[in-house]
Structure 1
């Protein structure tokens, strides 16, 4: 077992996670790259109808202890998962919905990023291969369609948040994101585990990206089931090869 910073890095062997237990597990699932395949246009992703039906069945069998944990806004997750709603942590936990159909709570406001928006306007206009997604509580530069611009995208965001210790920069699959400090997916899952619907259960987390590592590390340390999608380095104990493998593990029936 090797070390990377403060986090342990484990084998990349595809180790199948145990079956979900309706009476014991609290299930937390990332969205992009986990439940759905990536798309160059994030607005065009789609979840298979059979997978959506299976999520609804899991939500019922687990007494509501199933949440979607994503960098996306909860309102956008609802569009992709319609007509269903789920407990959720959006924008890496800066948005929270404890129960399906419940109120969405915002832990930060968009005004914290006003100076960053202004600083990014001119450089983004001069580099059309990059695009900005404004989530209100987070700003994301996308370079998936222009991978050679990954370094300029990072430098641009770093310059925009210079001297802002209250903000955190994160890199993910084809993106550079900035949002208020003090929150990540691990903290979001830990907070949700204190809520009545999840409390007393064993946490299960499945995710594919660097931003999921916070949650995977938390769940493993908490004695839960940590599942990495893909072959990238991870603190997760278990692995699944891809989105299709996750669907099979969840029990989604092919059509």
Structure 2
């Protein structure tokens, strides 16, 4: 039986809730891969790694893996960006692993838009509520910003309502500016879990548009179903990387 190592690489956060939510995603991914491997005569081993804040960082985690067994680095990240295009590639190059592949990020994906809708509905949204603003982290890379805009388009199709994307980071169009101008009834975080950006999004909107209800991030530590949706995206990306 061959072994394939899956380096499930998240951003990292100081938030205890955010850490627990991402750990739940990793547990769900591990369970899915175990079930998948049983029918493929393949053993998958899932390892944790981070690009920032938490340890082990992806460079250290990759260096620690066996050099002669296939590794797939799968970003537990929503979009293309500096971390996927620079950090993960550097880790792969320096790992010394003979066969290493880098999977695509989780999004944009229609299943994520459906999960955003579920979070909005939990916050009180219903059809006819008008334009929704989406808050995404932001990226220094154009391809990352395009991914986030595409996610907003998928959410718009899911809701049947206009959706405009704004960045929580200091990148135009800024979410705070958009919310101040539009005064929307609801805002949807395109963010995986609690952490720096989720907190900043709530504070920014409360400051400029206190009547706006901000939905929860995609995953929380008490919701296995949402973690399974994210893990399914990650599983799909792993399988795509193995086919290519």
Indicate the TM-score class for this superposition, using the shorter chain for normalisation. 0.3 to 0.5
Structure number with the higher helix fraction is: 2
Normalising to structure 1: TM-score of the pair?
A: 0.31
Which structure shows the higher strand fraction? 1
What TM-score do the two structures reach when normalised by structure 2? 0.32
